[in-house]
Amino acid sequence: MTEDVAVLGVGLHPWGKRGRSFVEYGAAAARAALADAELDWRDIRSIVGADTVRGGYPGYVAGATFAKALGWQGARVTSVYAACASGAQAIGAARAQILAGLAETVLVVGADAAPKGFFRPAGGDRPDDPDWLRFRVLGATNPTYFGLYARRRMALHGDTPEDFAQVKVKNSAMGALNPHARYRKRVTAQEVAASAVVADPLRLLDICATSDGGAALVLSSMEFARRHCVAEPVRIRAVSTVTPRYPNTVLDLPDIATDSAVAAEPAAEPFRASIATAAYEEAGIGPEDLSLAEVYDLSTALELQWYEDLGLCAEGEGAKLLREGATSPGGRIPVNASGGLASFGEAVPAQAIAQVCELTWQLRGFAGERQIADARVGVSANQGLFGHGSAVIAVR
């Protein structure tokens, strides 16, 4: 089992649409995390930035961009990009540096200023790019995939649009309590049903928005935390960044074909489930040990899929778990106590970091009105475009 690293500080810039630079959001989140850790920027020996492809050249080298915004001080610098998994990759890189003895303190920062409407590939013709192909060949925006996932669940497991709507109802109730969320209004099932159809059966309120936002963490070695008089910090125990296996028998974003270049037996579990399995194995725990989970609810139907992929219930029983109230506050395993993407929207490089911020607040007992009682172990999960797995396990 890998040694833990400490989470000394967390910080968020509130999500929304503000028309400012991603650098401003990230620097504000970084300063909040440093203040939370009671450290000065000059105490940080390494910075890892999660990149944004929408920020031009500064976004491609986000680590150096944030370091410059905070003030050059000679820290080691790293920049990573893995689409929605960028934040978890950044956490993984920071953790590796700490465990390797390269730095005792690392600042992790991600921020984005997202466009209005659907995400789309960068310009230019790239016929070998599956993201470009799905738009040009299929006309498949992200919500098209979300609708296909939902239809698959309806066909295989009997899920209904009413089940999907209840995910939004649950998450909006928690987002209403989160001062960092973009949408702080409770939504009813009737309001979901009355919203416009985007990708049948999913409606506008079933699908997350695109947003601006920033998130940051200060990580350290356990020895540094003790010297800093933090005897029992929240600790990161596992970071899973696994890739899929061939043959992939379920069409997944953004792949169109699923055949392998070589003969291969089907994997024992699908890609998303393998992300969680790798994290559990590294941490030496199982889903039964979790107090809460933060998952990527790109759509309401996808949240139900994560219940099963995280092992919170058996295959096909995600909607049943929801109906029983198990994933609501006070339930057996609350999911998206932050309000999730339903309440935040996507600020791609920041969101996986923001998930760990929420886990940290919950495990510290500092989550205010949305606090989950006796939280001891939390998991975050999402997946990034082109097969980037992303899960982080935090413990107290």
Cis peptide leading into residue 329 (ω within 30°): no
Task: Tell me how far apart the alpha carbons of residues 52 and 36 are, in angstroms, rounded to a whole number.
Answer: 25
**Cross-strand partners of 207:** 299
Please write the tens of the pLDDT for every residue from 96-138: 999 999 999 999 999 999 988 778 777 788 888 888 888 888 8
CATH top-level class for 130-203+237-395?
Answer: alpha beta
| 80: phi then psi, degrees, rounded to nearest 5 | -135, 150
For residue 262, what pLDDT is reported?
A: 62
Task: Tell me if 236 sits within 8 A of 378, measured CB to CB.
Answer: no
Instruction: Give the pLDDT of residue 133.
Output: 86
pLDDT, residue 261, reads 59
SS3 120: coil
Fold of domain 5-117+212-234 = Peroxisomal Thiolase; Chain A, domain 1 (3.40.47)
5-117+212-234 matches 130-203+237-395 in fold: yes
Round to whole Å and give the CA distance between 108 and 113: 18
Angstrom distance (rounded) from CA 38 to CA 9: 8
pLDDT value at residue 386: 81
Domain spans of the chain, in order of start: 5-117+212-234, 130-203+237-395
| Strand partners for 11 | 216
What's the confidence (pLDDT) of residue 127?
Answer: 85
Instruction: State pTM to two decimals.
Output: 0.95
pLDDT for residue 358: 98
Quick one: pLDDT at residue 355? Answer: 98
Mean pLDDT for back-to-back runs of 10 residues, the chain (396 residues): 88 95 97 98 97 90 97 97 95 97 98 86 82 84 91 97 98 97 97 97 96 97 95 96 82 69 74 94 97 97 97 97 97 98 96 98 97 97 88 97
State the pLDDT at residue 268. Answer: 83
Contacts of 73 (CB under 8 A, 6+ apart): 41, 42, 44, 67
